[in-house]
Amino acid sequence: MHIPDLTTSGALLTSLSIIAGGIIIGAMIFQVPVPLAPYIMVALAVLVVIGAAALLAGCRGAGESTAGK
């Protein structure tokens, strides 16, 4: 059974979630009202964990680590 490569999607999901969180934090620093900001931040944290899990699953599925790439 072929498992699709999850490395790219995991890295993309993690990176975009961190960038989105940084944008929200930056908006809050400049006193821009962000509705439901705590809930959005929790959802982004969950997406980071899911992205990291996909990244690890992709590395395990390939049988190699990305440290040497």
Give 57's contacts (C-beta < 8 A, 6+ positions apart): 3, 6, 10
Q: What is the pLDDT of residues 30-63, one digit of tens each?
A: 999 999 999 999 999 999 999 999 888 888 766 5
Residue 3 pLDDT? 65
pLDDT digits (tens, 9 = 90+) for 7-38: 888 999 999 999 999 999 999 999 999 999 99
Tokens read off for 6: 């999850």
pTM for this model (two decimals): 0.78
The domain spans of the chain are 7-62
Cα angle value 65/69/63 (rounded, 5°):
25
